[in-house]
A and B are shown apart, each in its own frame.
Chain A
Amino acid sequence: MPQIPLRDFLYLLPEIFLLTAGLLLLLSSSVGRGLGSRAATLFSLATLAATAVMVVWVAQDAPPGLLLAGMYVLDDYALYWKLLLLLATGLTVVLSCRFVEESGYRAGEFFSLLLTAATGMLLMAGGANLLSIWLSLELMALSSYVLAGYFKHETRSNEAALKYFILGALSSGVMLYGMSLLYGAAGSLGLAEIAAALPAAARTMPLVIGLGWLMLAIGLFFKVAAVPFHVWTPDVYVGAPTPVTAFLAAGSKAASFAILVRIFYTALPGLALDWQIITAAVAAVTMIWGNLAALTQTNVKRMLAYSSIAHAGYVLMGVLAMSDDGQWAVLFYLLAYVLITLGAFGTVILLERREYAGETYEDYAGLARRAPLLAAMMLLFMLALTGIPPTGGFFGKIYLFAAAVEAGWTWVAVIGVLTSALSLYYYLGIVVQMYLKDSDDVTPRPLEARGLVAAIGFCALATLLLGLVPGPLVELAKASVLPLP
């Protein structure tokens, strides 16, 4: 056993800080009536901002190579994801403030769970060993199960938590079994060691290796909600409180892609062709089924759930390219996707009141007259999800398609383009409601939740900026890719 120098723990400072703050928040909510929603929001935001500063600061003088006995790594790839995930969590916190306040549930516990989930996500980004990756994944998942069922007196929220928990735990078990088989065959849990041992092990015990990586991949596909492991997604997204849905669709999915890419690129390059074929099939089915199922939805949250499934398919296209181009396309796209998704769900939250208004298409009727600015931002998000310029979604998709074609996966890219065209139909369904339909409710809706509107505005502005000047982010993403073997 290698000795772990105490200094290594200093590099975990951001995560330790974030977790401590989350636990303090949890503790504070058991004292008296606990923090109010606004106080908890401000506390969480300050914590996340401080964590972001620490993440950058720690990355400045991080040693190359593995830390903590091979468990953890601080590379540019991890840094990019950590900042992205902190941004996603911060926006979720702002989106939640008013919603949690109106719900009447304790605010401190809600935000403390968001912070612990964020800790798990940060650790996922830096995990270099199957053990640390699995533990951080569980930290995120367990927090998310509770968040999904946070409105415990509402049957829909409870059902969402139940379904998410059972299927999530099952997928985690399958993934863990795959890890144990890989460990048996490769004799190690470190990603780099597995990669080194794989070629020899694949000859002596092909069945164990094959089953091992397949089960590991199934667990990962479940987490990113790829067909046919997506069955939990629509129900959980509809049933969970909307800010939690936004968090799952943006943060949880992005973090899962962070480990998916790292595992596939670092541990399994020796099996590249095998997993590329499976991933190509999964990506194709995901894009087709996600978009087809979204066509018939009448609930906006459900439509966005299927849209998030479809987008997992687009991102998988970049993953299977197994190239630098594919990698930075994934990094770029997920940032754009996180901003767009949080913005779209933010709009749903703003319209949402107790009776689940804001969830049917009809609730958007005449929105352009009632709240022109909000309608314009929602229009932008819908265009960006479709992939129409000038939005970040357009460049994101172009880069993904280009990477897939360049790597010789043209047929997958063709399916991607065709299904994107199809998706225009259901995204524009909302736009038609907003701009062409009239509603009886003509009173202009006051945009009283200023923080919420600011967060949606930020997402809209960033989406637009990414569509107008994608260059700087592309450079950043290019500098953050994992080295290919």
Chain B
Amino acid sequence: MGAILEVGTLHYVVLSFLLFLVGVVGIIVRRNMIVVLMSLELVLNSVNLNLVAFSYANGDLTGQVFAVFSIAVAAGEAAVGLGILVALFRLRQTTELDKATELSG
């Protein structure tokens, strides 16, 4: 009982994997670009959680450094994504991805 209540690396990794799955399913299933962007953030944050947990477990700071870089890149990625979204909205007055498709996928 005591062992399972003690939060260890495995707990973090399982949580991060669940977050990752929620994010990936969100990107694939949701049809609204804004929700897709939110799901993307979930994926990147699940990675950060992983990195920090492993960094703590390994007693090595590189993982946390990586997480800081990844947060910065996530911000850049969101900016580019929103920029493309704004262009989409100006063209078609929608953020729904289904209405933005004309090339046969």
Contacts and interface: CB of A to CB of B under 8 A. Distances in A.
Contact of A166 (B36, B51, B65): B36
A183 B66 contact: yes
A235 B105 contact: yes
A176 B47 contact: yes
A189 B105 contact: no
Nearest to A151: B87
Contacts of A19: none
B33 to A, nearest CB: 7
Contacts of B33: 162, 166
A327 B50 CA distance: 34
A162 B70 contact: no
B58 A187 contact: yes
A161 B82 CA distance: 11
Interface stretch (A26-34, A152-160, A402-410): A152-160
Interface in B45-75: 46-47, 50-51, 53-54, 57-58, 60-63, 65-66, 69-70, 73
A170 interface: yes
B36 A1 contact: no
A180 B81 contact: no
A169 B40 contact: yes
Contact of A184 (B24, B54, B91, B100): B54
A177 B33 CA distance: 22
Nearest to B54: A184
Contacts of B66: 131, 179-180, 183, 189
Interface in A164-211: 165-166, 169-170, 172-174, 176-177, 179-181, 183-184, 187-189
Nearest to A166: B36
A170 B43 contact: yes
A231 interface: yes
Interface of A is mostly: helix
A258 interface: no
B27 A170 contact: yes
Contact of A1 (B51, B61, B84, B90): B61
Contacts of A183: 51, 54, 62-63, 66
A142 B82 CA distance: 12
Interface residues of B, number: 49
A479 interface: no
Interface in A123-151: 131, 135, 138, 142, 145-146, 149
Interface residues of A, number: 40
B101 A131 contact: no
A131 B62 contact: yes
Contacts of A231: 105
A188 B61 CA distance: 10
Given A138-B77, A155-B102, A180-B51, A145 B43 contact: no
A153 B20 contact: no
A462 to B, nearest CB: 32
A142 B100 contact: no
Contacts of A145: 80, 84
Contacts of A1: 61
A142 B103 contact: no
B5 to A, nearest CB: 22
A433 B90 CA distance: 39
A184 B58 contact: yes
A174 B20 CA distance: 9
A238 interface: yes
Given A142-B76, A188-B60, A158 B43 contact: no
A188 B105 CA distance: 39
Given A159-B100, A177-B50, A180-B51, A131 B65 contact: yes
Given A152-B90, A177-B47, A184-B54, 13 more contacts: A1-B61, A131-B62, A131-B66, A162-B33, A163-B103, A166-B33, A166-B40, A179-B66, A180-B51, A180-B66, A181-B50, A187-B58, A188-B60
Interface of B: 9, 13, 16, 20, 23-24, 27-28, 33, 36, 40, 43-44, 46-47, 50-51, 53-54, 57-58, 60-63, 65-66, 69-70, 73, 76-77, 80-81, 83-85, 87-88, 90-92, 97, 100-105
3 A-B pairs with least C-beta separation? A184-B54, A173-B43, A180-B50
